[in-house]
Chain A
Amino acid sequence: MSCWDTIADYGLRSLGYGERLLPRSDFTLCQQVVLIGSGMLWNIYFGTLALIAGFVMATAVAMGKAARNPVIAKISAWFIFIFRGSPLFIQFFFAYFLFLSLKNAVPFFTVLTSAWAGALVVLFLNTAAYSGEIFYGALQSVPKGEAEAADAYGFGGWKKFRKITWPTMLRLAWPAYTNEAIFLFHATTLVFFSGFPAQSQRGDALYYANYFADKTFNPFVPYPVLAGYFILLTLVIIGLFGLINRRLNRHLPQERRSRMQMRMPVLR
């Protein structure tokens, strides 16, 4: 069986297409690379959707935490504290069992007990809290002069936010937000190791890597393969976010454009 056959059989295995049974003996390197790569589809799915949805909510949460209304500010601050102060792993467990209990009362929650929706909700709330804190910090350090200049030009309300405050906030937050994106993609590997079940062995990359390590009792092949995939993914994220960073800073003179610094303060 050539490697092309393996790709045809297992390339989309994580989504439920192709060969039903996972390989059981005589594992080849090709099988491991293909299956783990197939699992990466789930990591990319979780990461991308949670990131996009979380971005919108993070902006709202940051504005909420900076709001003058004490009720809104308190709620936002608590939201951020709860999701940043507890382990994501426990959040997954808690959410899964919460959805299980709710399912009995309201049938609507049945959907959320499967990983593709339930875990996505947890990841979305989690990244909204982390990026909300980043955005809040950036919002606090928007230069005073820019806001005053906007006032002087007669900008107000929504227009001022859309044209002045928000772009500057993004500019300031972007390096830290890039980190958050990287860590979010790393966090997606936790999904199938918490409460959420992998139905008919459709798991993510780590799920398959763990499967191979258990079956062959040789961790030195599947985990480096997984590591390779993730380093590749990290490089892609850094590249994409670097492009956006270039666009955010395109009005600045060349020498003042802050080069994206990948100093990576630890986040999670």
Chain B
Amino acid sequence: MACYLSTPKHMAFYWSFGTVLVLLAITAPLALVFGFGGATAARAQLAPVRWFGKAYIAVVRGVPDIAFFLFFVIALDQGFEYLRHQVFCPDWDQPIRQGNDFLVCPAAKLPLSTSPQVWHEIYGFFLAVLTFAIVFGAFAANVLFGAMRAVPQPQLETAAAYGMTPRQTFWRILVPQMWVYALPGLGNLWMVLIKATPLLFLLGVEDIVYWARELGGTKTARFTDYPHGDWRMWYFGALLLFYLAFTKLSEMVFDRVMLRLTRGQATLAGEAQRKAAA
């Protein structure tokens, strides 16, 4: 049993849990950046920017996220290759779209067809991260947009009365205060993000779902030292447990953070804490 669980393929399976965690670690801050940009755009003075921000939030939320995952991976890939095509091969005379094919010059291929396998995998992972960030950025933008509106209006009026410019008001008054209101929404979003990670499988990254299917399938004695029947149920059961444990852990961490943040706040929860201590 111990031998079976430490075959090289199982080692790759364990590493793929790391892939998921790395994806989460990179995507979460990036999505926050996208969300901040989207929320700022949605409350901009300039109408076209505002429309863009609102449309970004509304469209991404109105359509199943899996559709976006499938869409953006191809669209971003083609977009990057198209840009490189314009830069590297300005005198290419054939059209890029020929019927059902998308052809760019060899120098514009991403990654170059000569580069080693590892770069192809990294590029695929990078596309996945960017896609996740775009989709979850819209959700984060919605949360931050609400949080920015939840900051009491008198705070902003006072800032204006003290002669601050709108830019100063935004950075010194609004942004520091909005996080308390944003945290419950962002915590919820983190849970949703965790639960979206198995979709990596659809983006062509060799993640835990890929390996669970691979390892669990029926193996005959011809190809492996450890023949077994269809064990995929058990592998996916293990994944289920992994996600449940991860969710529980996140919940506990967020409860701690909320406890710390509400300390001394003039809210019901903060008041309850004060009374409990006294």
- Which A residues, 209 to 268, have Cβ-Cβ distances below 8 Å to chain B? 209-210, 213, 215-220, 223, 226-227, 230-231, 234, 263-268
Decide: A94 and B233 in contact? CB cutoff 8 A: yes
Interface string of B181-203 (1 = CB under 8 A from A): 00001001100101111110110
Identify which of A81, A89, A94, A187 contacts B64 (C-beta below 8 A).
A187
Decide: A87 and B244 in contact? CB cutoff 8 A: no
Task: Say whether A141 faces chain B, with CB atoms less than 8 Å apart.
Answer: no
Task: Say whether B216 faces chain A, with CB atoms less than 8 Å apart.
Answer: yes
Decide: A93 and B236 in contact? CB cutoff 8 A: yes
Interface string of A181-198 (1 = CB under 8 A from B): 000001101100100000
How big is the A interface, by class?
Answer: 35 or more
Task: Say whether B100 faces chain A, with CB atoms less than 8 Å apart.
Answer: yes
- With both chains docked as a complex, state the minimum distance between the C-beta of B209 and any C-beta of chain A, in angstroms: 7
- With both chains docked as a complex, state the minimum distance between the C-beta of B230 and any C-beta of chain A, in angstroms: 7
Decide: B195 and A88 in contact? CB cutoff 8 A: yes
- With both chains docked as a complex, state the minimum distance between the C-beta of A200 and any C-beta of chain B, in angstroms: 22
Extra contacts besides A98-B233, A186-B64 (16): CB < 8 Å:
A82-B244, A86-B195, A88-B195, A89-B198, A91-B240, A93-B232, A94-B236, A94-B239, A97-B230, A100-B233, A101-B230, A190-B66, A213-B74, A219-B71, A223-B71, A231-B63
Residues of B within 8 A of A234 (CB): 62
Identify which of B75, B139, B198, B216 contacts A90 (C-beta below 8 A).
B198
Interface string of A1-28 (1 = CB under 8 A from B): 0000000000000000000000001010
Select from chain B the residue with minimum beta-carbon distance to A226.
B67
Task: Say whether A154 faces chain B, with CB atoms less than 8 Å apart.
Answer: no
Decide: B198 and A87 in contact? CB cutoff 8 A: yes
Task: Say whether B70 faces chain A, with CB atoms less than 8 Å apart.
Answer: yes
CA of A227 to CA of B61, assembled, Å: 11
Decide: A101 and B233 in contact? CB cutoff 8 A: yes
> Could you pull out 6 A-B pairs where Cβ atoms are within 8 angstroms?
A97-B216, A98-B233, A219-B78, A220-B75, A230-B62, A267-B192
Decide: A206 and B230 in contact? CB cutoff 8 A: no
Decide: B66 and A193 in contact? CB cutoff 8 A: yes
Task: Say whether A85 faces chain B, with CB atoms less than 8 Å apart.
Answer: yes
Residues of A within 8 A of B74 (CB): 213, 217, 219
Identify which of B62, B198, B243 contacts A85 (C-beta below 8 A).
B243
Identify which of A81, A88, A213, A265 contacts B70 (C-beta below 8 A).
A213
Task: Say whether B142 faces chain A, with CB atoms less than 8 Å apart.
Answer: yes
Task: Say whether B111 faces chain A, with CB atoms less than 8 Å apart.
Answer: no
Decide: B248 and A85 in contact? CB cutoff 8 A: yes
Decide: A227 and B233 in contact? CB cutoff 8 A: no
